[in-house]
């Protein structure tokens, strides 16, 4: 930390005043001791005897001299006092600089940090203050993101609810105003309103599920489940729908059980969403493959793959954002709420795992890593090979 010219002058003046005061104190002590020696013959004789006993050589050189020892002690004490005074004043100046830096940051310069490199406890104070400022700024940014996220959530929910609600009110209004020509018109209007109401119900349920899974205190019913058996049951439940679209669902898994501790209902929701997405958005596809395998004693890997249309590169990092819909075939026209993948990601995260997606002209893969034991967390590792190679190892 660099001192200003004024601070350097203050230190010099501090040293000068201290030395003057110490000289006056030393002179007073010498005068008092001389008076004591002159008025006390016993003390004077004792000092003389000590002097005579501490001599060396044929010339009787005295090793001990009361005056020399006293002067040396006084000089050492004076030097210590001067050093302590200057160090104390220097620390006060450091503290004043730190306070000035804090005021500068508090005035809105949140990207500024205390730049000093000091020693000892003062440096720990500087480091702690910088860490505290970083933490506060991070909390402020997180709060802004949360507020922005809430605003976006309200906007998206309002928009997605308003569209079907407008249709429901419109068609029911036609019936209410008797603006129909036959019973078939009434059935058509009510059928459309019913479908729009189901769309609203689906959105509300997905929104409730997403909000619930984002809350870390939401309880989960943990039990030991067989992932391979779950995938077989899901494949069977989607078999008729897949056949209607000319798609075949296949399972690539070992015959032996692949068991983990998880919430079966919520984990089933994840795979249900991924398979439903593959059927809904996999235009031109003919195959959906459900793969599973153990990665280690504490981790498994599951993927839902389809050979439908490729997800654009720019959309891969956004598909898990709530209400995000990829352009083209993956649009609102398909009837989705835009919350399915966000819910899947939240559920996987609550289980301590992670999910990501890869897509190329041949295959789109949603890959999930889950811990075997409940309560453990799997750190995300970017694959060094293609997802297909990872699954077939």
Lowest mean pLDDT across 44-48, 247-251, 317-321:
44-48
Calpha distance 285→308 (Å, rounded): 4
- So what's the pLDDT on residue 323? 66
Q: pLDDT tens for residues 1-55?
A: 677 788 888 888 888 888 888 888 888 877 776 676 667 665 555 555 555 545 5
- Supply the angle between the helices 120-176 and 66-106 in degrees, to the nearest 10: 10
pTM of the model: 0.56
Residue with tokens 């003919």: 286
- In order of 85, 117, 167, 298, the CA distances from 120 in angstroms are 18, 10, 71, 44
- Give backbone dihedrals phi and psi of 251, rounded to 5 degrees, phi first: -120, 130
Beta-bridge mates of residue 306: 288, 364
For the beta sheet containing 287-296, the strands, ordered from the edge strand earlier in sequence to the opposite edge, are 248-252, 287-296, 299-306, 364-371, 354-359
Contact call for residues 274 and 292 (beta carbons, < 8 A): no
Q: pLDDT tens for residues 49-91?
A: 555 545 555 555 554 555 666 777 888 988 999 888 888 888 8
């Amino acid at each position: 930390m660099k001192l200003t010219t004024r601070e350097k002058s203050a230190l010099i003046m501090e040293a000068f005043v201290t030395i003057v005061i110490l000289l006056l104190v030393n002179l007073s002590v010498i005068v008092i001791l001389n008076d004591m020696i002159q008025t006390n013959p016993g003390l004077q004789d004792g000092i003389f005897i000590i002097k005579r006993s501490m001599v060396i050589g044929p010339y009787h050189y005295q090793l001990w001299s009361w005056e020399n020892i006293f002067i040396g002690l006084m000089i050492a004490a004076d030097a210590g006092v001067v050093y302590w005074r200057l160090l104390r004043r220097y620390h006060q100046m450091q503290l004043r600089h730190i306070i000035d830096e804090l005021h500068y940051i508090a005035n809105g310069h949140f990207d500024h940090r205390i730049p000093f490199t000091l020693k000892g406890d003062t440096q720990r104070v500087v480091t702690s203050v910088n860490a505290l400022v970083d933490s506060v700024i991070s909390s402020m940014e997180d709060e802004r993101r949360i507020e922005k996220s809430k605003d976006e959530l309200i906007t998206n929910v309002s928009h997605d609810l308003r569209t079907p609600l407008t249709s429901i009110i419109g068609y029911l209004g036609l019936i209410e105003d008797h603006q129909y020509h036959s019973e078939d018109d009434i059935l058509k209007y009510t059928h459309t309103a019913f479908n729009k109401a189901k769309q609203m119900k689906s959105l509300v349920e997905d929104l409730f599920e997403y909000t619930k899974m984002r809350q870390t205190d939401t309880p989960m019913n943990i039990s030991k489940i067989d992932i391979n058996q779950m995938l077989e049951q899901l494949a069977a439940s989607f078999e008729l729908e897949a056949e209607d679209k000319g798609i075949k669902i296949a399972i690539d898994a070992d015959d032996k059980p692949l068991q983990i501790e998880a919430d079966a209902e919520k984990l089933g929701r994840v795979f249900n969403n991924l398979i439903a997405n593959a059927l809904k958005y996999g235009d031109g596809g003919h195959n959906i493959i459900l793969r599973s395998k153990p990665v280690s004693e504490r981790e498994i890997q599951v993927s839902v793959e389809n050979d439908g249309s490729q997800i654009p590169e720019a959309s891969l990092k956004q598909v898990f954002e709530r209400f995000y819909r990829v352009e083209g075939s993956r649009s609102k026209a398909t009837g989705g709420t835009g919350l399915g993948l966000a819910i899947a990601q939240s559920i996987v995260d609550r289980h301590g795992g992670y999910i990501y997606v890869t897509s190329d002209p041949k295959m789109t893969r949603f890959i999930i890593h889950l811990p075997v034991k409940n309560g453990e967390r799997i750190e995300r590792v970017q694959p060094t090979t293609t997802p297909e190679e990872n699954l077939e190892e």
